[in-house]
Amino acid sequence: MAGMAEMGMADVGPWALADAGWAALMWAVMMVAMMLPAAAPMILMFVAVNRRRRTEGGGTPLVNTGLFVLGYLVVWTAFSVAAALAQWGLHSAALLSDDAMSAAPVVGALVLAAAGVWQLTPLKYACLARCQAPIGFLLGEWRDGNRGAVVMGLRHGLFCLGCCWVLMGLLFVGGVMNLAWVAAIAAFVLVEKLVPAGRAVSWASGIALLAWAAWSLAHAG
């Protein structure tokens, strides 16, 4: 499909394996662009704690920040592959539009409902709490060495994934190729993690998403 129509993916017809690869790459690029800003407070705190440990620890070796970020990105890369497979399945079932890559109304409503329910769960709040408290995460999870940096990055990535994975699924509602929608979701994720009332934001968004899902189902077809 000519590189998924130069990443626009407006082509129709069956996907080849290369098309799935392009889709996974597109998702990975989007996840980096959307999630690194939200991870910035944790990364900056990691650097600060790292330097302080070296200063106060009599020359304790620095833990590689790049490896911490790498571990974080590995989690979101794995998610990108899963999202690309979901996109492949929806495409094969003719449940995606050919322009913005948005899901059929009923599928979109189900995604909205799933996201709304997840926003109200204790597990969502637990993951959000870990993402909102960089110093608490690092004090409880700190590991020395390069392997430790990767493990910390992986663990933070998993908490972040637990917080946001269904929100990323909303890309199928507004359109995977809808840049304004991509930016809106990224902004919401950032606000949810940074504001003190993040849990209230999650709760309110969950109710709003459920209402949107009900409206979409009522008007589907």
User: Per-domain residue ranges for the chain?
Assistant: 16-219
**Crossing angle (nearest 10°) for helices 122-132 and 134-141:** 90
pLDDT (0 to 100) of residue 19? 82
* Ramachandran region, residue 3 (left: φ > 0; alpha: ψ -120 to 50; beta: rest): left
What is the model's pLDDT at position 57? 66
- Output phi, psi for 178, to 5 deg: -85, 100
Over the chain (221 residues), the average pLDDT of each successive run of 10 is 41 71 93 93 92 73 89 97 91 75 83 96 96 92 91 97 95 89 95 92 97 90 62
Residues 6 or more apart from 117 whose CB is under 8 A from it?
206, 210
Q: How many CB atoms lie within 10 A of CB 81?
A: 16
Running DSSP on this structure, what letter comes out for residue 100?
A: S
Identity of the residue numbered 159: F
Is 137 in contact with 130 (CB distance < 8 Å)?
A: yes
> Taking the model in full, what pTM does it have?
0.86
| pLDDT value of residue 99 | 61
Following DSSP, what letter does each residue of 32-71 receive, concatenated? HHHHHHHHHHHHHHHHHHHHHHHHHTTSPPPP-HHHHHHH
pLDDT at 221: 62
CA distance 92 to 142: 44
